[in-house]
Amino acid sequence: MNILEINRTTVPVLKSSDTVAFALELMLVEHLFVLPLVNETGHFLGLHDYDTLIEVNKKSLLKKVTPSKQEAFLTVENSVYDAVRLFQAGLGLVALLDEDGLYQDAITPSAILAYFAQLGGVGEPGGYISLRIERNNYALSEIARIAESNNAVIISLLLSSAPSADMLEITLKFNLEDLTYLIATFERFSYEVTGYHHQSNISDMYNDRYWSFIRYLNT
């Protein structure tokens, strides 16, 4: 999950020879309240933000103003998770540099969100099922086998810690819109289904009868 897999954003770049007034006007025009600053050779110097610059003499050159975020950058060697860590620290923009420290592009939180949405198959048709399972009993091969027995394919899987330390929360997306039978199969195999989102094709009457039959099988 290299940082280069993210679709970067082209944003205006401030130069150290620009004035504070120019930077503020550019931010307002572009509706961006943080912009990267580079020197004459294209090396990244940091990020300037609107709230800081508004307090500075408008005629001052940016080279005379210390950027508010000098460590807000990643290199081509970093991972996507490094970007997430920086955004968790409150940054609204992260610069991407090459091996020589030259500015390449900018990465935004929305780009990170879009990346993980694509990775998780959000745009693909299908439904979701959430399971809670003991850590020691977690076996993806068994979950996949249950899915395949219902002609379902796992598109994405997300693991997270449950309130209890010995449990896992698993959210799976499948390629099927109607997961009625798959939900029932998980429950028949004693999986705890904590939630689901899908489009059932079974009418209310047949749905009631179906679940009554499933409950009978589980007794």
Residues 144-164: pLDDT tens digits?
Answer: 999 999 999 998 888 877 677
In a domain, 122, yes or no: no
Count other Cβ atoms within 10 Å, centred on residue 150: 16
| Bridge partners (DSSP) listed for residue 200 | none
In a domain, 213, yes or no: yes
Burial 10-24 (b: 16+ CB within 10 A, else e): ebebbbbebbbeebb
Do 181 and 91 lie in a common domain? Answer: no
Question: How much of the chain, in percent, has pLDDT values that exceed 70?
Answer: 86
Mean pLDDT of 88-114: 86
Comparing CA positions, the residue from 49, 48, 44, 50 lying closest to residue 96 is 44
What Å distances lie between residue 9 and 12, 94, 119, 216, CA to CA? 10, 10, 19, 56
Residues 46-57: pLDDT tens digits?
Answer: 999 999 999 999
In a domain, 123, yes or no: no
Residues 8-38: pLDDT tens digits?
Answer: 778 899 999 999 999 999 999 988 899 999 9
pLDDT (0 to 100) of residue 205: 47
Do 146 and 184 lie in a common domain? Answer: yes
Of 117, 152, 172, the last residue of a domain is: 117
Mean pLDDT of 55-60: 93
Q: Into how many domains does the chain fold? A: 2
pTM recorded for the entire structure: 0.60
